[in-house]
Amino acid sequence: MIMISKELMTAKILEAKATKGVSWEALSEAIGLSPVFTTSACLGMNSMTEDKAFAVCETLGLDKVVAEALQVCPKKAWDGAVPQDPLIYRLYEVVGVYGDTLKELIHEKFGDGIMSAIDFTMHVDKEENPKGDRVVVTMNGKFLPYKAW
């Protein structure tokens, strides 16, 4: 069995997406997963089941090695430096400015714990507005209380 890295897998997927003119929305619809999860898996931060991985490859005209790479459990790590991409930086800034606020409000409503990023969904929507369209990001994670022992 030939194995490729998640980086090469992602490069092949991005190239095929561009060549075929397929959007993340269309790809996710074709395979029956959400656009956020589909994109995340194709960028190497999540894995897919065999059927979904092969559906991605069938849709994009990619070979078996890409489907196999999509099924590998990822190492979820990223560069610890402040992001340079403006959109990613702004999300980093939101957490920097509102992270403690979110933590306080979650603790007040739920108690001592965290929001899961495993039992989790996220949606990105567009809200049209005459003063400029708005980005709506909805995150929905299970509350995980800390235990005392």
| Residues known to be catalytic | 90, 93, 116
Whether 115 contacts 106, CB under 8 Å: yes
Question: If phi over 0 gives left and psi between -120 and 50 gives alpha, with beta otherwise, what is residue 97?
Answer: alpha
Half-sphere exposure of 77 (CA within 13 A, CB side): 5
Distances (CA, A) of 108 to 81, 90, 95, 101, 105: 31, 26, 18, 11, 5
Tokens of 3: 């194995």
Say how many C-beta atoms besides its own lie within 10 A of residue 110's C-beta: 13
